[in-house]
Structure 1
C-alpha cells in the first residue's frame, strides 16, 4: 500500500479532524508521543481497514484471473460475451425467432390438429369430444367459397378448464403465435404424466387462486425467448454476426449442439455439413427440440416455485421471473461455463 493511500485511510478514520497545511512553529517535549498516538488512532479501526483493503485486493486479483480465463467476457458490458456466433448458432436463433412470427390460423389443418392433440391429452379420459368447427349459416354459398371462409369454430367453455383465458386458445396465442402451441403440444406428448399433473394441479397444497396452466405456458415461451434475446439477433433486417450475447445464449446453443450430436448418432447416414433438405430439416428439428426441452424443464420449475412460495394468482409474475431469470438462467450459464472451460484447457 502506498504512503498516500495509508494517509487517506488515516484521515477517513479520524475523528472529524480537518486537513491542514500549517507547519507547527513550536515542538514540545511530548509532541512525538502525541504525534504517534494521532497516527495510530484506534487500533481496531486500523485493523478493520487493513482487512477490508486486503480482501478487496484479493477479490480484485481473483476477478482479473477469472477474466483472463474467460477471455471473451467484457466486465464493462454486464458480463456479456464479445463473441461471433457460429453459422449454426445464428441459424438456430433466427429460426426460433421466425417461429414466433407464425400466427395461429384456423384455416391451417396443422394448427387445428395441434389443438386436437392438446384436447385429447386433457379430456379424452372424460369422453368430451373436440368442438367441431361451426358451419356456414348460408346454404347459398358455393363449396369453394365456404372453404375460403375462416373456420371460427372450436370455441368451448372447456378450453378454460385447460387454462386458456377465453373460449378459444387463439386469443392467448396472439403474442407468441403458433410456437407457444408447439411447446405445449411437445410437453403433452413427451412428458405425459407431468403434463397431466400440472394441468390438473395435483401436486402439493394449491392456492385457491391458481395460475391458468395454458396461459402460463404461453408466458413461459415468451420469457424464454426474451432470455435468449432472439429479437436482438436481427438488426435492421439483417443478421448481426458480432452480437454481444449473454452466457445463457451460449449455454442454450450448447444444448442444441448436444441435441444435434445425439440426433446424428441415431442417424448414421446424416451428414450435418451437407445442405440437402433432409439434413436441414434435422438441424431445425434439433433447434426446436432443444427449446422444447428447456421449456418443459422451466414449466416444471415454475410449478415447484409456485408451491414453495405458496403463491397466489397476483404473484404469478414474480414466480415466473424467478423461474426464468434466475433458475433457468443459472442452468444455461452452467452449460456455458462448461463449454468455455473446455476451450481454455
Structure 2
C-alpha cells in the first residue's frame, strides 16, 4: 500500500469517559483474534451510531468533545495489525477516492453534480452547472466546484450516496423539516463537505498505510464486510450534526463558529 501523509487521529467514544482504550484493546487482543467480523457488521454500525449519540450528552458540544479531542500521538502498537486481502483492497480503493479532486471539466463529475440536483429537487429544472440555483442546496456560491476544493470528489459522492440510499432522511435535512428551526439555517451542502472531511480525519484514513487509531482499525474491519461503510457512516454523522445544530438553537450567524467546533 502506498505511503500517505500523516493526519491527526481521533479517540474513540470511550475515551470521552477517560477510559484507557488502548490498554483495554491490547489486554483482550488475543481473546478476540478469532472473532468473526461477518457477524459483527451490524453491531459495529450500532456502536458507531451510539458513539455519536452518547457524545451529544453534556454541557459541551458533542462535536467539540468527539472530534476536537484529538490524540496527536500516533500509537506504534497499531502499525502491525493484520488486514485481510479484501480489507486491504477496499481500504486502498477508499484512499484512492480521497485523492481525486473535483474536476469541473470532467463529464463524469458534471453528471454526478447534475444527478445530485435531480435527487434534491426532482421537479425543478437546473439552468446550468453555474447557477444561482445552487445556493438553494446550500452551496456558498453559484459554482459548486469552488466548494469542493477542500475535500475533492468524495464529498460529492457522499452527498449523492445519501440522496440515493436514504432519500427521506436526505430531504428532511435538506429542507430542514424537523425541529424548531431558525429563520436562517445552516447551508446543507457546505455542511456536508465538512462532514466528509471530519470523518476522514477521525478515522485516520490519510495516515501512512493503515489507520493508526482504534476507530480507524475497527472501521477497516467493517469496511471488509461492507464496501459502503464510509458512505453509510457519513449519513449517520450528518443526522447527528443536524441534531446538534438543533440542540444549540443555532442560526446562520453561528455557522462559522459551528464549523470550528467540527474541525
TM-score in same-fold range (> 0.5): yes
Q: Does 1:181 align with 2:120?
A: no
In the alignment, the residues of structure 1 paired with residue 225 and residue 144 of structure 2 have an alpha-carbon distance, to the nearest angstrom, of: 33
- Distance (Å, rounded) in 2 between the aligned partners of 1:94 and 1:190: 24
Q: Are the equivalent residues in 2 in contact too, given 1:306–1:319 (CA < 8 A)?
A: no
For 1:100 and 1:77, locate their aligned partners in 2 and report how far apart those are by CA, in whole Å: 21
2:216 corresponds to: 249
1:113 alignment counterpart: 111
Partner of residue 316, structure 1: 258
Aligned residues: 197
* Structure 1: gaps spanning 5 or more residues: 1-62, 133-153, 234-239, 260-285, 322-345
Partner of 1:97: 95
Are 1:220 and 1:299, in contact at CA under 8 Å, matched by a contact in 2? yes
Of the three residues 228, 232, 236, the one matched with 1:297 is 236
Change (3 A) 1:205 1:64: closer
Matches within 5 A, 1:1-345: 67-70=26-29, 81-86=78-83, 87-125=85-123, 128-132=124-128, 154-233=129-208, 240=209, 245-259=212-226, 286=227, 289-311=228-250, 312-317=254-259, 320=262
Structure 1 pair 245–190 and aligned structure 2 pair: CA distance change class (3 A):
same
Q: Distance in 2 between matches of 1:80 and 1:226?
A: 19
Kept after mapping to 1: 8 A contact 2:204/2:211: no
For residues 152-206 of structure 1, give each alpha carbon's deviation from its aligned partner in whole angstroms, at most 9, with x where no partner exists. xx21111011011010110011122111111100111111011111111111012
Structure number with the bigger relative contact order (C-alpha 8 A, sep ≥ 6) is 2
- Give the TM-score, by structure 2 length: 0.66
Distance 1:191 1:319 in 2: 26
Conserved 8 A contact 1:183-1:295: yes
Matches of 1:167 and 1:218, distance apart in 2: 16
SS in 2 for 1:118: helix
Deviations 1:104-133 (A, max 9, x none): 2233222111111111122223xx31224x
Displacement of 1:309 in angstroms is 2.0
Compared with structure 1, are the counterparts of its residues 168 and 79 closer, same or farther at alpha carbon in structure 2 (3 Å cutoff)? same
SS in 1 for 2:147: helix
Structure 2: which 5+ residue stretches go unaligned?
1-21, 33-72
SS of 1:230's equivalent? coil
* Pair 1:95–1:244, CA change in 2 (3 A): closer
- Which stretches of structure 1, 4 residues or more, deviate above 4 A after TM superposition? 63-67, 76-80
How many Å separate the matches in 1 of 2:195 and 2:260?
13
**TM-score, structure 1 normalization:** 0.52
